[in-house]
Structure 1
Amino acid sequence: MRARSFIPGATAVSLAVTGALVAPGAATAAPPWTQLEDLVSGDAVMEHLEAFQAAADAGDGSRAVGTEGYEASAQYIEKKLKKAGYSPERQYFDVEQFSVLDFSLDVPGVTLDAIPMSYSSSTPDDGVSGTFVQPVDANLNGCDATAWDGVDATGQIALIQRGACSFAAKSIEAAAAGAVGAIIYNNGPGALNGTLGGPEDPAAPYAPVVGVTQAEGQAILAALDADPSLEATLDLQTLLETKETFNITAETKKGDHDNVVMLGSHLDSVDEGAGINDNGSGSAAILETAIQLSKIKKPNNAVRFAWWGAEELGLLGSEHYVYDLVDNAPEELDKIATYLNFDMVGSPNYIIGVYDADESTYEAPVDVPAGSPETEDVLTDYFDSIDQPWVDTEFSGRSDYQAFIENGVPASGLFTGADGVKTEEEVEMFGGTAGITYDPNYHSPADDITNVDPEALDIMSKAIAHATQELASSTVAINGVDTSGPGKKKGHDKWEDGTKPGHGLMDAA
């Protein structure tokens, strides 16, 4: 899972809207009254995760973009989809891939396990050294020029707390104040493995920047109190190179293709590991849902599945997909009734989280398209019907639904937690351990096959299956479109004022 960044200068690629379920009898049919959640199990999803782990192990231990593990994971998905009767297709695009060539950070008297932030600029070849300087805003967040008013940061190392704005904004403002490097420390427990979202703008260059834990930041502050002349030495050499990667899409042959229900999960991991929870879990869950969907009666609405590439580089695969539609086939984007996103659904210290599209708990920091609360209701109503506790998680756009909601497509999704800290109240609801993160192995080599909670995986996989079947049956509550009866396939309902329901496209960014 990765925060949103920028729209890449990707290659022009034609839309991959795929047909499916073309082979009669390709999957053993279930009775037409079968509930999809009864066919989808956490055990079956775990088998897919074991295949993803094997794909990583056969390569360099990762399933990141450009690795053998990513390609092998994709081939596994394609093989399973074809066996179920689908015709999966790849949509290729170019990305700027970031890598760290060399890195060291030394602060005398302080032990650090710092992590360079993705897309950070490099220091000079021999590194930089400087005393520490901090912004003057109340929380030391350093988010704008006023936070550096009266501070001469020239040639110094900025020490900044996480929060209130993006890491990129902090790095840019530190550089504008004259800092030659920046250390951002977490504002809660856990490692800080951040991204600046994309390559720097020459008009707003980054300061070379790394992340440290909250405890490490406090240790630096304590050392600085003891010695205000304390210096840090930072050597960070990075590289950006263009690589080709791809999304995978597959769509049911049957159902109304003018009213499409779409599910997506990102397939890539971070470089550091196999990414079995983040996000093999979501990818495996929608794969099993697609396989089992092929066994039940035809849907009223077509269902499209997507496995996104390069999410960990800044949501690039989903952004490419959506903005390719915006630029080349906006009428196809308008046919997507709703989009459901599944990014991390097996966290070891899990919550059962639903994107808070109705803002009943969290005010969304993004515009929430009409129809999103009704999409959320499909998920929460299901949990309520089986007496499964759940909590809202912020509808923040910080995953692959961002490009969809930016262009008016309703959305919701499920989430078992990443680097947030579990509360005592959540322990009462879901078990687990308070005071530590939902996934202590988030973005680390330890996010392997042992890093998935089978109970969470089963709960969420069945919820995904239920929502898929419900929305394949009807999206009337979301967009007013009725495809359920004779004459309805092409005859979409209208609102009382005579206008066609659905979402309108915003201007492309």
Structure 2
Amino acid sequence: MKLHAALAVSIGAVACLANDPLTPDKVEADINTQELQRNLWNFNHIANKNGGNRAAGLPGYKASVDYVLERAQKRFYKQMDTWVQPFNHTFEQTREIWVRGPDGNKVYAITLLYNTATPVPEGITAPLIDTPVDDARGSGCFEDQWAGIDATGKLALVKRGTCAISDKLKLARAHGALGVILYNQSPGENIGGATLGADNVGKLVPVAVTTLENGQAWKARLAAGEVLTVTLYVDAFVEQRESWNVISETKEGDPDSVVVLGAHLDGVQAGPGINDDGSGSTALLELMGSFKKYRGFKNKVRFCWWGAEENGLIGSLYYTSQLSETEADRIKYYFNYDMIGSPFPIYSVYKNENSGVGASALFDYINSQGKPAEYGEFGSDSDYVGFVDLGIPSSGIFTGAGAPTDPCYHLKCDNLDNIDYDALTINAKAAGRVAAQFALSLEGVPTRSKKVTRDSRGRTNKPLKGNNVV
């Protein structure tokens, strides 16, 4: 009898746990820094074992997908429905890049995503021709800035900044340049990467980015009348590769009323991508682990890890392009978490005229934790684009890209030391608390707006989160 009583108590306790009602307080309490760090450690370990990155089209990304699936499909299969959405994307990789300066020595240079190859193995050796600096409008960004410049058969020296780099390269090509030596707008070798956009493959001249110091020194020598000859070498290739979105949603909740949380799982080829966007990915993993414990919520919650964001929002744009009108109507809100642990963070909450209580709830929670929340506008630089363009109410959190908020943005040093763990924890708790609130009730949430202001479907050339294309 005592054994039966004990079993009854045990079964009752399990039943009670399985029926534990969801509350925002419980989800907030479930999120802790140690578990967020654990996932980031694993993402960093994956990168270290796979060539130093987790970029789409490379083994580190597939290993990151497997890491998420191990949790969502194997551990949480009783509470979550999980699937992989495959898609093809244009993959580019630079195998080697270098610049030999006018004194015959190789100088510091980095490549850009979707770069154009030079002839291999000889590269391009040509005279350097200067272009005007216009920091206000952007140097080499407009046709009038190229007036009187005959770059035929030469390498154009152009300063980085303000406008899309692809615009500079198109104009250089139109004026006969064989390639461009782009010098950075900030001093030092801490040069952030950029994407030229898959849409521009075949339309641009080869390019290498060197330091501000090199560019200014060569500019001064050209102004003094010297003839400078430089060699540019880019060994790059482009091909179609498969990638994947990982999607996992709660079994409980109305399938016609879905709250979507998204973060991109891929990083750049230059580094492990721990802040960008391991920070958002670990937050979603911990939120999923919290939600699977509870019951009693009205609206379904869908967690999405997007692929090939760094290539131009490819995964999320594919996802939104495949939604029928009925499926889009079922998504009541989208939250985007891309870079939420920058080492010197701002606390920016995305907001537009259709963000409603989602934005204000995030804003209020962050402020309640003693952090200076601010509202920021949506741009065309992260995975919210496809949802905003479909008129789906949206918000999210962003803590900054590039100096001063994240000096390791898109660099090798975006590793475990490149996180403000206090910011990450607060933002993950904010995301969890608001997601739980929305799972229980959508009171005050605006309806979907059918006014699409931009065509995001299939677009791949994007100004990424700060200084990425400029």
Into which bin does the TM-score normalised by the smaller protein fall?
0.7 to 0.9
Matching residue within 307, 310, 335 for 2:308: 310
Matching residue within 30, 33, 45 for 1:42: 33
Residues 27 and 142 (structure 1 numbering): CA distance in 2 closer, same or farther, change over 3 Å?
farther
For residues 182 and 167 of structure 1, what CA distance do their matches in structure 2 show? 10
Q: Please identify, of 181-190 and 45-54, the stretch whose mean Cα deviation from structure 2 is larger.
A: 181-190
Residues 233 and 74 (structure 1 numbering): CA distance in 2 closer, same or farther, change over 3 Å?
same
Aligned match of 1:224: 222
For residue 449 of structure 1, give the secondary structure of its aligned residue in structure 2: coil
Aligned match of 2:130: 133
In the alignment of these two chains, the number of paired residues is: 432
Residues 298 and 168 (structure 1 numbering): CA distance in 2 closer, same or farther, change over 3 Å?
farther
1:298-324 CA distances to partner (integer Å, 9 max, x unpaired)? 322211110011112111111111112
Aligned match of 2:423: 456
1:245 maps onto 2:228 in alignment: no
For residues 472 and 220 of structure 1, what CA distance do their matches in structure 2 show? 59
Residues 405 and 295 (structure 1 numbering): CA distance in 2 closer, same or farther, change over 3 Å?
same
For residue 117 of structure 2, give the secondary structure of its aligned residue in structure 1: coil
Aligned match of 1:195: 195
Matching residue within 94, 100, 103 for 2:94: 100
Any residues of structure 2 matched to 1:107-256 within 5 Å, and which?
A: 107-108=101-102, 112-125=107-120, 126-128=122-124, 129-135=126-132, 139-188=137-186, 190-200=190-200, 205-256=203-254
For residues 239 and 55 of structure 1, what CA distance do their matches in structure 2 show? 24
Matching residue within 66, 71, 87 for 1:80: 71
Question: What's the offset of the Cα at 1:342?
Answer: 1.1
Aligned match of 1:66: 57
For residues 57 and 200 of structure 2, what CA distance do their matches in structure 1 show? 22
Aligned match of 1:343: 338
For residues 92 and 274 of structure 1, what CA distance do their matches in structure 2 show? 22
Residues 25 and 186 (structure 1 numbering): CA distance in 2 closer, same or farther, change over 3 Å?
farther
For residues 451 and 386 of structure 1, what CA distance do their matches in structure 2 show? 22
Instruction: Give the aligned residue type for 1:36.
Output: V
For residue 161 of structure 2, give the secondary structure of its aligned residue in structure 1: coil
1:503 maps onto 2:449 in alignment: yes
Matching residue within 371, 394, 397 for 1:411: 394
Residues 347 and 149 (structure 1 numbering): CA distance in 2 closer, same or farther, change over 3 Å?
same
Could you state the TM-score of these two structures normalised by the residue count of structure 1?
0.78
Question: What's the offset of the Cα at 1:193?
Answer: 1.1
Contact 1:132 1:232 in 2 (8 A): no
For residues 160 and 231 of structure 1, what CA distance do their matches in structure 2 show? 15
For residues 356 and 215 of structure 2, what CA distance do their matches in structure 1 show? 39
Provide the aligned C-alpha RMSD in A: 2.6
1:316-358 CA distances to partner (integer Å, 9 max, x unpaired)? 1111111122xxx232122222211111122223222222x24
Instruction: Give the aligned residue type for 2:424.
Output: L
Residues 258 and 135 (structure 1 numbering): CA distance in 2 closer, same or farther, change over 3 Å?
farther
1:271 maps onto 2:269 in alignment: yes
Could you state the TM-score of these two structures normalised by the residue count of structure 2?
0.84
Residues 127 and 456 (structure 1 numbering): CA distance in 2 closer, same or farther, change over 3 Å?
same
Q: Please identify, of 288-297 and 445-454, the stretch whose mean Cα deviation from structure 2 is larger.
A: 445-454
1:196-249 CA distances to partner (integer Å, 9 max, x unpaired)? 0114365xx201122234444334333434454223221112100111111000
For residues 46 and 305 of structure 2, what CA distance do their matches in structure 1 show? 16
1:15-45 CA distances to partner (integer Å, 9 max, x unpaired)? xxxxxxxxx9798665544432111122211
Contact 1:118 1:197 in 2 (8 A): yes
Residues 178 and 262 (structure 1 numbering): CA distance in 2 closer, same or farther, change over 3 Å?
same
1:94-116 CA distances to partner (integer Å, 9 max, x unpaired)? 11110113321122358742211
For residues 145 and 384 of structure 1, what CA distance do their matches in structure 2 show? 46
For residues 473 and 215 of structure 1, what CA distance do their matches in structure 2 show? 56
For residues 414 and 508 of structure 1, what CA distance do their matches in structure 2 show? 21
Give identity over the alignment, percent. Answer: 37
Contact 2:55 2:269 in 1 (8 A): yes
For residue 478 of structure 1, give the secondary structure of its aligned residue in structure 2: coil
Contact 2:109 2:210 in 1 (8 A): yes
Instruction: Give the aligned residue type for 1:79.
Output: E
For residue 55 of structure 1, give the secondary structure of its aligned residue in structure 2: helix
Unaligned runs of 5+ in 2: 1-13, 458-470
Question: What's the offset of the Cα at 1:451?
Answer: 2.4
Contact 2:22 2:291 in 1 (8 A): no
1:471 maps onto 2:438 in alignment: yes
For residues 129 and 82 of structure 2, what CA distance do their matches in structure 1 show? 53
For residues 86 and 367 of structure 2, what CA distance do their matches in structure 1 show? 40
Matching residue within 359, 363, 375 for 2:358: 375
Instruction: Give the aligned residue type for 2:421.
Output: P
Question: What's the offset of the Cα at 1:131?
Answer: 1.8
Matching residue within 288, 293, 296 for 2:294: 296
For residues 279 and 508 of structure 1, what CA distance do their matches in structure 2 show? 21
Residues 46 and 180 (structure 1 numbering): CA distance in 2 closer, same or farther, change over 3 Å?
same
For residues 15 and 228 of structure 2, what CA distance do their matches in structure 1 show? 72
For residue 238 of structure 1, give the secondary structure of its aligned residue in structure 2: strand
Contact 2:22 2:436 in 1 (8 A): no
Contact 1:132 1:156 in 2 (8 A): yes
For residue 150 of structure 1, give the secondary structure of its aligned residue in structure 2: coil
For residue 475 of structure 1, give the secondary structure of its aligned residue in structure 2: coil
1:399 maps onto 2:395 in alignment: no
For residue 503 of structure 1, give the secondary structure of its aligned residue in structure 2: coil
Question: What's the offset of the Cα at 1:409?
Answer: 2.2
For residue 116 of structure 1, give the secondary structure of its aligned residue in structure 2: coil
Contact 1:334 1:505 in 2 (8 A): no
Aligned match of 1:427: none
Instruction: Give the aligned residue type for 2:148.
Output: G
Contact 1:136 1:149 in 2 (8 A): no
Larger-gyration structure (1/2): 2
Contact 2:208 2:232 in 1 (8 A): no
